[in-house]
């Protein structure tokens, strides 16, 4: 019998208490039918920006002719992943920090297919606009190392005030899919198996994700 591995949920719960990116549609759950009011079922409707909480950015988010979320290959979101700590330093993460963090845990062998960044960000209400973003050179280095999925606990791979989105565009150029606002505070750096499939929203620029890590033994 196979030994059962612990499953660690790295998803932020969707609720009105979770701060949303300023200007985006906040999460709202509204009951449309209630058993206590005579209905045969409880039924709700949900309204939110697909960038609320833990989510995947499809290339369509930052490029008019980029793939939509339903066109992304499922195998991107399933398989070996490395968690690295890049929480110290200034507001931008460069290639040397990423490379050193990977080498520090023995995760520097190519190809590095899925990389999850612990930047130390904690969602706060009101929305915390300062977080560690990536420089385009760091994304390019990951692309050459074989990365296909880049995750972060921050709300974006680019700084809050950025309008040109160099890290997003570098991901698109390198064929890297973006996974944002992971819940990683209790996760130690190291190798894991990742399950992080987005909702299959036809034509969507992004989609909410339920993400899990399974420690490797």
Domains identified in the chain and CATH numbers: 50-215 (3.50.30.50)
Query: Within the chain, where are the H helices?
Result: 95-104, 136-144, 166-174
Of the listed 12, 20, 51, 61, which one is catalytic?
61
Could you read off the pLDDT tens digit of each residue along the chain, which spans 217 residues? 455 679 999 999 999 999 999 999 999 999 999 999 999 999 999 999 999 999 999 999 999 999 999 999 999 999 999 999 999 988 899 999 999 999 988 765 557 899 999 999 999 999 999 999 999 999 999 999 999 999 999 999 999 999 999 999 999 999 999 999 999 999 999 999 999 999 999 999 999 999 999 998 7
User: Is 61 a residue of the active site?
Assistant: yes
Residue 88: CB partners within 8 Å, gap ≥ 6? none
Contact 167/158 with Cβ under 8 angstroms? Answer: yes
Q: Find the DSSP H helices in 75-123.
A: 95-104
Q: Helices in 25-83 by DSSP H: which ranges? A: none
């Amino acid at each position: 019998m196979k030994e059962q591995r612990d499953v660690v949920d790295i998803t932020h719960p969707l609720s009105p208490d979770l701060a949303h990116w300023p200007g985006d549609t906040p999460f709202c759950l509204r009951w449309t039918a209630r058993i206590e009011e005579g209905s045969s079922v409880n039924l709700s409707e949900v309204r939110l920006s697909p960038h609320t909480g833990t989510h995947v950015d499809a290339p369509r988010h930052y490029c008019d002719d980029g793939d939509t979320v339903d066109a992304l290959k499922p195998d991107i979101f399933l398989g070996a992943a490395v968690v690295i700590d890049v929480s110290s330093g200034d507001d931008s993460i460069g290639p040397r920090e990423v490379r050193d963090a990977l080498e520090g845990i023995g995760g520097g062998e190519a190809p590095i297919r899925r990389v999850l960044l612990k930047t130390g960000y904690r969602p706060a209400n009101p929305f915390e606009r300062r977080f560690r973003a990536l420089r385009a050179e760091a994304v390019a280095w990951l692309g050459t190392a074989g990365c296909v999925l880049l995750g972060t606990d921050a709300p974006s791979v680019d700084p809050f005030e950025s309008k040109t989105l160099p890290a997003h565009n570098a991901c698109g150029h390198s064929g890297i899919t973006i996974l944002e606002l992971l819940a990683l505070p209790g996760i130690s750096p190291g190798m894991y198996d990742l399950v992080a499939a987005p909702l299959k929203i036809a034509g969507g620029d992004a989609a909410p994700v339920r993400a899990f890590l399974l420690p490797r033994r």
